[in-house]
Amino acid sequence: MDLGLKNKVVIITGGTKGIGEAISRCVAEEEGIAVFIGRSEKPGKALEDDLKAKKLQGYFIQADLNKTDNCKKIIAEVIEKYGRIDGLVNNAGRNDGVGLENGSPEAFAKSVQENLFHYYEMLYYALAALKESEGSVVNISSKVALSGQGGTSGYAASKGAQLALTREWASELLPYNIRVNAILPAEVMTPLYESWLNTFDNPSAKQKEIEQKIPLGQRMTTAEEIASMAVFLLSNKSAHTTGQFISPDGGYLHLDRSLT
Ligand code: NAP
C-alpha cells in the first residue's frame, strides 16, 4: 500500500529514541521527511546519519521542548528549511512518578507542564502550516490515561488531557480538514521502559510477569507496531478517521481479564 507520504514533512517530538525513533524511521522509510526532536545530540545525529546512509530523509533538531520558546523556534526552523509541515507527532514524555503520597503540588505542576504543555505549543505554532497542507496530528498518550497506574498523578493527568485535547482539536480543526488522533501504547520496550524495569530487583522476571498479562501473544508491543499505526494515521489512507483513541496493545487495556 502506498501511504502517499513521499516528501511529506512530519515532525516527531522525542523522535530520536524508543517509540518516537520507530516513528521517525517509519516516516523516512515511507519516503517522507522525518524531522525528529530530542535533547541529546548523540542519538539524534546517529539517527540522521543512519537515515542518510540508507538514502532516506531525516533531519535532527536538538532542543528541550520544556524550555521557553523552543517549540516556536522548532516550527520556524522547519518552515524555513522545508517550507511546509504535513504531520505532527506529539510524543516526547516521561512517566515521572509524581503521585499523591510521593509528590507535592509543586512537583505535580512541573510534571503536567513537562508532559503536556509542549503538545499544545507544538500544534499552536504548527497550525498555520498544517492548515495549508490539511495535515494530520498524532498524539502519543498512554493506557495510563484510561486505566490509572497509581503513584503517577502528574503523568496520568497529562496523558488524560492529551486524550481530551485530541477530541477538542479534532473538533476545532474540522473546517481545515486537519485530523487529530491519539495512540495509547501500553507496554513497549524502549530506553524509558527499560530504565523503569531496571528499578525492580529482577527485571526479566518482572517483564515476564507483565507479558503473561498481555492477551495477544503474551508479548510486549514493538515500537515498530506503534509506528505503523502512527504512519497510517498520518497518511491519507486514514482520511476519514479523526478524534480517535487507538490502543495497539495486544488487547491489554480492553479485553476481559479472565482471558489471561
Ligand atoms: P523514551 O524511550 O524515553 O524516548 C523519549 C524521547 O523523547 C527521546 O527521544 C528523548 O530524547 C525525547 N525527549 C524527552 N523529553 C524531551 C524534552 N523535554 N525535549 C525534547 N525531547 C525530549 O520514551 P518512550 O518509551 O519511547 O515513550 C514515548 C512516548 O510514549 C511518551 O509520551 C510515553 O509517555 C508514551 N508511552 C510509552 C509507553 C511504553 O511502554 N514505552 C507506554 C505508554 C506510553 P532526549 O532524552 O535526548 O531528550
Q: Is the CB of 183 under 6 A from ligand 1?
A: no
Q: What pLDDT is recorded for position 68?
A: 85
Distance CA 142, CA 171 (A): 21
In this prediction, residue 113 has a pLDDT band, given cuts at 50, 70 and 90, of: very high
> Following DSSP, what letter does each residue of the chain receive, concatenated?
-----TT-EEEEETTTSHHHHHHHHHHHHTT-EEEEEES-HHHHHHHHHHHHHTT-EEEEEE--TTSTTHHHHHHHHHHHHHS---EEEE---------STT--HHHHHHHHIIIIIHHHHHHHHHHHHHHHHT-EEEEE--THHHH--SS-HHHHHHHHHHHHHHHHHHHHTGGGT-EEEEE---SB--HHHHHHHTTSSSHHHHHHHHHHT-TTTTSPBPHHHHHHHHHHHHSGGGTT--S-EE--STTTTTS-GGG-
**Ligand 1, from 11, 13, 36, 39: best to mutate by most atoms within 8 Å of Cβ?**
39
Cα-to-centroid distance, 19 and ligand 1 (Å): 7
- Mean pLDDT for 85-108 is 98
Q: Distance, CA 91 to ligand 1 centroid (Å)? A: 6
Residue type, 94: R
**9 close to 34: Cβ distance less than 8 angstroms:** no
Pairing state between β 136-140 and 87-90:
parallel
pTM above 0.95, yes or no: yes
Percentage of the chain with pLDDT > 90? 97
Q: Quick one: pLDDT at residue 225?
A: 98
Average pLDDT rounded to a whole number, residues 22-43 = 98
Q: Centre a 10 Å sphere on the Cβ of residue 88 and count the other Cβ atoms it contains.
A: 30
- What's the whole-number mean pLDDT along residues 240-247? 98
Would you please indicate which residues are annotated as catalytic (active-site) residues?
155
What's the pLDDT tens digit per position in 162-221?
Answer: 999 999 999 999 999 999 999 999 999 999 999 999 999 999 999 999 999 999 999 999
Which residues make Cβ contacts (< 8 Å) with residue 7, sequence separation at least 6? 31, 32, 33, 57
Residue 171, pLDDT score: 98
Q: How far apart are CA 25 and CA 15, in angstroms?
A: 9
Q: What is the pLDDT of residue 115?
A: 98
The domain made up of 9-186+223-248 has a fold known as Rossmann fold (3.40.50)
Write down the domain spans for the chain.
Answer: 9-186+223-248, 190-220
* pLDDT (tens digit per residue) in 63-83: 999 998 999 999 999 999 999
How many C-beta atoms lie closer than 10 Å to residue 121's C-beta? 20
Does the beta carbon of 93 lie inside 6 Å of ligand 1? Answer: yes
Q: State what percent of residues in the chain have pLDDT above 70.
A: 100
On whether the CB atoms of residues 184 and 247 are closer than 8 A, the answer is: yes
CB atoms within 10 A of CB 148: 12
Q: Is 191 in the pocket of ligand 1 (CB under 6 A)?
A: yes
Evaluate whether 30 touches 7 at the Cβ level (below 8 Å): no
Q: What is residue 36's predicted lDDT score, i.e. its pLDDT?
A: 99
Reading phi first (left if > 0) and then psi (alpha if -120 to 50, else beta), residue 258 is in alpha
Does any ligand 1 atom lie closer than 6 A to the CB of residue 248?
A: no
